[in-house]
């Protein structure tokens, strides 16, 4: 994955102190999220989205790292669907932290989501995830993932039930779920 030199935005993005004023001129719903936003920016995950394969024209208003950070931060701040991102498009805290005049709109997010779904985009996402996990784990330590599964036997032909491993009722349809 070739990485190219990044735009002006990457150098200017940084943790910054926010002065709190109790007025409604620049109100944000995410005032308590400044630390979380700083953490995401300090991981440097956006550099994995600055590849030639995912790149856009140099004069594009939003590069793929802007879009990726918008997805990550919006999701962390509770925006469950892309059309919910309309609510945060002009959020002053996010615009300040990302050093953008406004966030990408939903039309652009839908369009660029296709790029992130490509093999190159998926590799960029995996690399960013590994970077974040590596920064969270102390050096030399392993992580253990404990997976518990539960099986719920159904009676009849409920949608999405299937015959599978069922220790109590062999051969019966059930729902299986895993808890991490």
Structural domain contains residue 141: no
Per-residue pLDDT at 130: 82
Residue 14 pLDDT exceeds 80: no
Residue 4 pLDDT exceeds 50: no
Number of domains the chain is built from: 2
Range of the domain at 29: 8-136
**Residues sharing a CB contact under 8 Å with residue 51, sequence separation 6 or more, in sequence order:** 1, 2, 3, 4, 64, 120, 124
Max mean pLDDT among 41-55, 70-84, 161-175 falls in 70-84
Q: Which two tokens stand for residue 139?
A: 């050096």
Residue 168 pLDDT exceeds 60: yes
Render pLDDT for 27-64 as a digit per residue (tens, 0 to 9): 677 777 888 888 888 888 888 888 777 778 888 888 88
- Do 91 and 159 share a domain, yes or no? no
Structural domain contains residue 120: yes
Long-range contacts from 16-20, C-beta under 8 angstroms, 24+ separation: 16/96, 16/97, 18/93, 18/96
Structural domain contains residue 127: yes
Mean pLDDT across the chain, nearest whole number?
78
- Do 156 and 101 share a domain, yes or no? no
Structural domain contains residue 157: yes
- Do 70 and 127 share a domain, yes or no? yes
Cα gap 92→103, rounded to integer Å? 10
Residue 11 pLDDT exceeds 50: no
Per-residue pLDDT at 139: 76
User: Rg of the chain's alpha carbons, rounded to an integer?
Assistant: 21
Q: What's the pTM?
A: 0.63
Long-range contacts from 60-68, C-beta under 8 angstroms, 24+ separation: 62/100, 62/104, 62/108, 63/6, 63/7, 63/9, 64/112, 64/115, 64/116, 65/6, 65/9, 65/10, 66/9, 66/98, 66/100, 66/104, 67/104, 67/108, 67/109, 67/112, 67/116, 68/116, 68/124, 68/128
Structural domain contains residue 69: yes
Of 76-90, 106-120, 149-163, least confident by mean pLDDT is 149-163
Degrees (nearest 5) of the Cα angle 112, 83, 123? 30
Cα gap 102→36, rounded to integer Å? 19
Structural domain contains residue 143: no
Residue 16 pLDDT exceeds 80: no
């Amino acid at each position: 994955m070739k990485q190219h030199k990044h735009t002006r935005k990457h150098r200017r993005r940084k943790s910054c102190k926010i002065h709190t004023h109790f007025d409604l001129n620049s109100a944000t719903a995410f005032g308590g999220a400044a630390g979380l936003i700083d953490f995401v920016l300090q991981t440097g995950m956006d550099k994995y989205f600055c590849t030639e394969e995912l790149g856009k024209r140099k004069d594009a208003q939003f590069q793929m790292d802007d879009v990726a950070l918008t997805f990550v931060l919006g999701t962390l701040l509770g925006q469950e669907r892309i059309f919910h991102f309309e609510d945060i498009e002009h959020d002053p805290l996010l615009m300040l932290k990302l050093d953008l005049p406004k966030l990408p709109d939903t039309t652009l997010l839908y369009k660029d989501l296709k790029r992130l779904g490509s093999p190159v985009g998926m590799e960029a996402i995996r690399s960013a995830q590994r970077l974040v996990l590596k920064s969270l784990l102390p050096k030399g330590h392993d992580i253990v993932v404990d997976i518990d599964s539960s099986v719920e036997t159904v009676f009849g032909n409920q949608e999405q039930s299937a015959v599978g491993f069922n220790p109590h009722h062999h051969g019966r349809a059930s729902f299986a779920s895993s808890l991490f």
